[in-house]
Amino acid sequence: MDRREFVEACALGGGGSLAAMLAVQAWAADARPRAYARVPLLDELGQPLKAASLRPQTNYVFHYPFEATPVFLLELGKPALATQLLTRDKQRYQWPGGVGPGRSLVAFSAICAHKLVYPTRELSFISFRKGGVLNPQTPDKGDDLIHCCADHSQYDPARGAQVLGGPAEQPLCAVLLEHDAKTDTLAATGTLGGELFDDFFRKYEMKLSLEVGPRARHTVSSPAVVRELARFCRNPVRC
């Protein structure tokens, strides 16, 4: 039964179908995965990126689903299990967890969900931090988090980039990964959760036109190169 048929069946049920109608409303409020082009990930030499080559707890960056939108790729070194989350609009979604042999490979938009801070080639105020992170606003929230120095928002990449501290109102948007066990290669296939790309492009339109050029808002359709943040960005800020 598809969604239209389900709604019609509820309507035919009359007054006794209130619970079912509420279920439809909740269903309609769920955030759904958004499919973009399936984009294979490459290393800096232009070869297919092998998952086994990723160093644990190291920041890697590629761009997806748009030419100007950066993504963190992380080998957490531990399993990342499925987690139920909420967007700032209260849409529920089930993050599927990590991929790869240890379910430890994850990817998230590198655009902070508060002020839209993101890593550029010159500067990055947001990154994954191994171990504990000093945050005077929310101490003792945990280890191995993505931390934004601009506003001290903290996200747990092992739980779908769930917000653990700071003013961010939703998790980082997840980028869905596909792992080929035979070749140990990776591809990005879509996003899940609260996208902030429209806000991002509005805020940084002029800056992105200088950084990326006229293709800033074009969706990525060719293989994406993955680089360590330390090699992509000249000044990763630690706070």
User: Averaged in consecutive runs of 10 residues, what is the pLDDT profile of the chain (239 residues)?
Assistant: 38 40 40 95 98 97 98 97 96 97 97 96 93 55 85 96 96 98 98 97 95 95 96 87
CB 103 within 8 A of CB 133: no
Which pLDDT value is given to residue 61?
98
Q: In angstroms, how far apart are the furthest CA atoms of the chain?
A: 64
CB 131 within 8 A of CB 107: no
Domains of the chain: 1-30 (no CATH), 31-232 (2.102.10.10)
For 99, the token pair is 């991929």
Which pLDDT value is given to residue 15?
40
For 121, the token pair is 């080639």
For residue 65, cis peptide bond before it (omega within 30 degrees of 0) = yes
pTM of the model: 0.85
What residue has token string 């080559």?
53
Which pLDDT value is given to residue 238?
79
Which pLDDT value is given to residue 221?
94
Which pLDDT value is given to residue 132?
62
CA distance 234 to 124: 8
Which pLDDT value is given to residue 235?
85
| 6 dihedral zone (left: phi>0; alpha: psi -120 to 50; beta) | alpha
Which pLDDT value is given to residue 134?
54
* Each residue's pLDDT tens digit, 148-160: 999 999 999 999 9
Angle (nearest 5°) at CA 61 between 58 and 66: 155
Share of the chain above pLDDT 70, in %: 83
